[in-house]
Every structure is written in C-alpha cells, then in structure tokens.
Structure 1
C-alpha cells in the first residue's frame, strides 16, 4: 500500500488535503481487494476529517474501523475522543482531549495545526456571541490558562476589568470594499452633464 501522497501532504503541511487523499486511497485499496486494516493510518485519517470540519465522514470512518484496531491503537481512540467532544460541542473537552494525549511524531504537527484552527474558531465564536465574558469562560473556550487567554484577547483589542474579572469584547470592524464600475461612472457623468446643460 502506497501512502506516499499522504506523507507528501503531511510534509508540505497540506493538512486540508489529507482527508480526501485518504478517502480515495482507501476506496482504491478496497476495490483492489488489498487487506489494509492493520497498516491503515486510522488516527491520521480521522483527525484529517476533523481538521476540515467533516465530522460526519469521521463518524462513518470510525464505524468502519475494526474493533481490534480501536482496542489496540490508543492514538485512534484518543483522536476519536476529540471527535466525540466536537460532536457534543464540549468546547473545553476538545482542548482537554487535544492536550490529554502524548501524540506520535506523525500526528504532532497535525494536532497542533488543528488546535490552532480550533482556537481561532472559538475566538470567532466568542467575538460574535458576546459583548462581555468572564476571563474564566474565555480561558475554557480557548483552551488556555486564564493569564494566556487574557493576553491573547488583549492582543486582539479587548479590554479587561480586573476587579470583576470580565473582558469586554472589541468587535472587529467590517470592511466592505466598493468597486467602481467605469460604465456607471460614465453614465453618471453624462447624466450630470445633461442636467447642467
């Protein structure tokens, strides 16, 4: 079984491509009648689906993994624990699952990249849902210590009231770009010229 495309995607940090590569390769290997179960990188495959926010495909993959693999490969179970927390929208639990396992060298970079994306996603959620939030809750959502979470959001322009332990969210300005259509400008010029004369 040739996993070279998977390795290349990992080395180039093209994590968003790994799920599709694995899905296609799994179909190809199965169609060729090759037994792959013992060698398949299930943990990587599952995590790559979480990376691209495809929880349903990850659930189907989990159901297809033989019980012997689930029981003999703790890293597969650890990745699935992340998925369970995502499914339940247990934001703190996702971070606990990420940081609660000693990941193999093959997965360390992908786990770190997923953690970073997930933290940014949680920050955007806080940004859209709150005008004020406690430091404790912010830390839980972001999977950080209270000091780290406070520093993180202060760098984003938020303010802190140390007495109440509350953070005030700074909404990001929405930038809209208006494009000037030359034909509309020409028509406007002609209209104004017509009115003046």
Structure 2
C-alpha cells in the first residue's frame, strides 16, 4: 500500500521571527531585505495573520532604509495592503523614509526620535538607522564645507551642538582657536582627487605656455 505523502511543513510566525532575529543580530541588512522580499514573493504574507504580516513589512521597510534603498522603500510602501498602511507605526516609519527621500536631514532625526518604536525588531532597527544616517550625512556635510560651525551643522542635522562636537572630535576635525569653526578632515579619496585636479591644471598651464612659445 502506497504511503500518503507527508504534509507540507507550514511556516509559522514564530519561525519568521527567529529568521528575522538572526539577520538583525548580525546586522545583515542585505540578507534581511532579501529574506523579506522572498517572504513577499512566496506569498507568505497570506499564511500569517495581519499582525505578523505587518511586522514583516516593518522589518522590510527598515531594511531598505538602512541600506539607503529609498526607491525600493517607496515601491514597497505603494504596494502595501490598505490594512497594513493603516498601522500607526508603519506610517511613522514611512514618515522617516519620506524625510530621507526629501533630504530633510533634521526632520529625519526629529521623526525618528519622536516615535516610541516597538520591540523586539523595530526599535533597534530604527535606532541603527538614526545613528547610521546621522554619521553618513555628517560625513557628507564635512566634504561640502571648508569650515563650518557646530551650530550650523546642528541646525542642519537636527541634533544638539554638543552632539556635533562629539562627531567632530571622533572624526579628527580641528577647531579654529578664534572663531571656533571646524575645519573638516577630507576623506583620502577627496584629497587624492584634489591633488590630481591640481596636477591636471598645472599640466594644462604648462602645455599652454609651450604652445605660446612655439608660436612666438
């Protein structure tokens, strides 16, 4: 007598939580976003209740924002079911994402700090996003300015001036003894780019001089 096939293993919300926890513990946000994409493509949202489904969507959105994949985050938000979009925490997360998209740096920090994010996943993910975003924008602003005051950066970043002092000291920036303005340390790649540009300008001037000598 032929044996009946074993019933397919049904994945439970607990299994999803354990898999998500492993990615979060290792800060593997690329793996986390891929896991959530597969969860969606495999129609696993239909296998769990609304609470569990929304929980995965939150992690999915956070993973995209942590990787600065804002296009992917926008498309995810657009295709969310209406009942998922009604979740206040998911709305608050996308408000942070919208501010990131619009490059409203101070607003990103304000919105990320204003909401009481839930455990066990959203709270640490959003804390990581807030810290990571602050560091990235601080570095970008450092490249944009030759000198800048802590107060100016604080206004742009939406953090106290004391936090800017901490970031500047950690980055090795020097402060002017008179004005107190910081002189950002340029990344090595930027310095090399500047040197190469100066060399090209010197070479161009030299060739131009030779051409004038030949024509004389």
TM-score range, shorter chain: 0.7 to 0.9
Q: Which runs of 4+ in 1 moved over 6 A?
A: none
The aligned residue for residue 197 of structure 2 is: none
Contact 2:147 2:183 in 1 (8 A): yes
5+ unaligned residues in a row in structure 1: which ranges?
177-197
In structure 2, C-alpha distance between the alignment counterparts of 1:11 and 1:154, rounded to whole Å: 29
Q: 1:103 aligns with which of 96, 100, 117?
A: 117
Q: 1:84 aligns with which of 81, 95, 98?
A: 98
CA RMSD of aligned residues (A): 2.4
The aligned residue for residue 133 of structure 1 is: 148
- The alignment partner of 2:175 has SS state of strand
5+ unaligned residues in a row in structure 2: which ranges?
1-11, 193-216
Q: 2:73 aligns with which of 38, 50, 58?
A: 58
Residue correspondences, number: 173
Deviations 1:75-125 (A, max 9, x none): 101110111001111111111111111111121221122122212211220
In structure 2, C-alpha distance between the alignment counterparts of 1:8 and 1:86, rounded to whole Å: 27
Structure 1 length normalisation: TM-score? Answer: 0.77
- The alignment partner of 2:128 has SS state of helix
Give the CA deviation at 1:142: 4.0
Structure 2 length normalisation: TM-score? Answer: 0.70
More helix by share: 2
Give the CA deviation at 1:29: 1.9
